[in-house]
Chain A
Amino acid sequence: MELLQFDFMQRALVAGLITALVCPLIGIFVVVRRQAMIGDGLGHIAFAGIMGGYVLNIYPTFVAALVTMLGAGGIEFVRRKHIRYADTSLAIFFYSGIALAVIFSSMAKVPGNGIIGVLFGSILTVTATDLWLIGACALLVLAVMARCFYKLMLMSFDEEVAKVAGINTAVVGVVFSMMTALVVVVGMRIVGILLVSSLMIIPVAASQLLRVGFKATLGWAVVFSVISVWGGLVLSFYLDIAPGGTIVMMAVAIYLLLLVGADGLLFKWLKPRRVNPVSGQER
């Protein structure tokens, strides 16, 4: 494989694989909790963090991780305090992030192509330091999610039931928001701030079309996510087009394929046989 001869492609493929693994893990809960826009909101806050890093002359991705986690905690806090205005509070965080990013970028005099890289991703410029940070964030997310998976599943199904089961839903909610923030920062380098939530949402939306159980949905979402990221990277390398957009369009193509074929052969193969308990007939 020609593309594996290049160091930047090797780093891109590893960073892409890590991202493809953690995005659906967070994404499945984001989707079932009906918070599909949270990734976009956090992406805007991460944008402010990156630009803030340039102003402070501190490693921008690290500053973005801190700022986005703080923002995520804030969003969850406001969401719980003012549940009726949850979407409004998200929008306020959203706009504040963008506004601060604009201010910081003017202060730091960040060049236009630097901003474009943040907005649309620059996976081909992933450095070894980026890779370590992405890996560390992903490990933390995996460890926390392994511990909270069933609590989050119960909370996502019904928060009142989770409370009666003795789960501290406020704490788990804040922890989940912070993990979402970390995944946004991880995914930001791959597809950019504007498209980062697509890797959390689209593979999960595609696997939901298979109408299988929760864990199976997550498993398929990871498969679709890896295919999208690696397929998109390879395609963009040979076609010489933007990798971020290509990755997302790969995910969209998988979604559309399943949307059209969900009731066809693929669906019949994946779906377990169902028997009507009354008539005894298959359906």
Chain B
Amino acid sequence: MYDISIKEVNFSYGDNAVLKNLSLSIAAGDFVAMVGPNGAGKSTLLKMVAGLIKPDSGLVQIAGKDVPTACAAGNMGYVPQHYAQNTVGFPATVEEIVALGLYSRHGRKMKREGERHVVSHMLELVGMQDLRTRLVGELSGGQQQRVMVARALAINPGILLLDEPTSGVDYDTGTKLYGLLGELNRNLGITIIAVSHDIDKVIRVANKVACINNGVCFYGESTEFRHNHIGAPHLFPYQPQ
């Protein structure tokens, strides 16, 4: 089980301070919806947890270890925001893309037979078994997103990070995808952080909400957030007490 601890993190893009002394403690098995207005620093914080950005000051730890150690141990699955740019023209089948999730700095994680089994299981999990031989660039946005989730899950991560997983997909597809993520969180106990603008959809499945605005963060139960903010005109910008 992997908990995430973010302690007094600061980060700026030039003179623009995005995260100010931000602290957050995410328990193992939580599903966190990370919301907030554009430019609030949601993706920056997610990338910090993924080890793609280093904080100017402060500390990010996964299960008590630093982020590179967690990444090297294969504890993290990551679904980036702009994956669609990469899938266009990338000549790989759905199976090959999911198998990519098994490759790390150590190269292939398992032998071919085991790899086939894992890929098949992951595709079954996201309901994409029938499309396994299709080129990923030929799939719809929602199908591609499912493939990306399957790829991120292939390594059996303790933590799954998703950056805007429903951007560019229709309402129903987005709802189904969050339903799938909710199931994965409940059934497999994976800690999930999903950055999203689809607040109404994501907080139906998330048990926690991290609302980031003006560099600071509201963190609490999603039921509390839903009760206080959904439909309210003062939702953004959120003004912390």
Contacts and interface: CB of A to CB of B under 8 A. Distances in A.
Interface of A: 32, 147, 150-151, 153-154, 156-158, 160-161, 163-168, 207-208, 211-215, 217, 272, 274-275, 277
B50, B76, B78, B103 — which one has the most chain A CB atoms within 10 A of its CB? B103
Interface of B: 47, 50-52, 68, 71-74, 76-78, 80, 83, 86, 89-93, 95-97, 100, 103-105, 107-108, 130-131, 133-135, 138, 151, 155, 161
Contacts, number: 91
Contact of A160 (B52, B68, B91, B138): B52
B83 A158 contact: yes
Given A150-B107, A151-B103, A154-B103, A208 B72 contact: no
B86 A157 contact: yes
B100 A153 contact: yes
B76 A213 contact: no
Contacts of A150: 100, 103, 107-108
Closest 10 CB pairs of A and B: A277-B130, A166-B72, A213-B93, A150-B103, A164-B78, A166-B105, A214-B92, A217-B91, A165-B104, A166-B71
Given A157-B90, A166-B72, A277-B131, 16 more contacts: A150-B107, A150-B108, A151-B103, A153-B103, A160-B50, A161-B100, A163-B51, A163-B52, A163-B71, A164-B161, A207-B91, A208-B89, A211-B135, A213-B91, A213-B95, A213-B135
Contacts of B91: 32, 207-208, 211-214, 217
A235 B155 CA distance: 50
Interface of B is mostly: mixed
A165 B105 contact: yes
B78 A161 contact: yes
B101 to A, nearest CB: 8
Contacts of A214: 90-93, 96
B50 A151 contact: no
A65 to B, nearest CB: 27
Given A157-B100, A213-B91, A217-B91, A168 B134 contact: no
B80 A32 contact: no
24 contacts: A150-B100, A154-B100, A157-B97, A160-B50, A160-B52, A161-B80, A161-B151, A163-B52, A164-B52, A164-B77, A164-B161, A165-B71, A166-B68, A166-B71, A166-B74, A166-B105, A207-B91, A211-B138, A213-B91, A213-B95, A213-B133, A214-B91, A214-B93, A272-B133
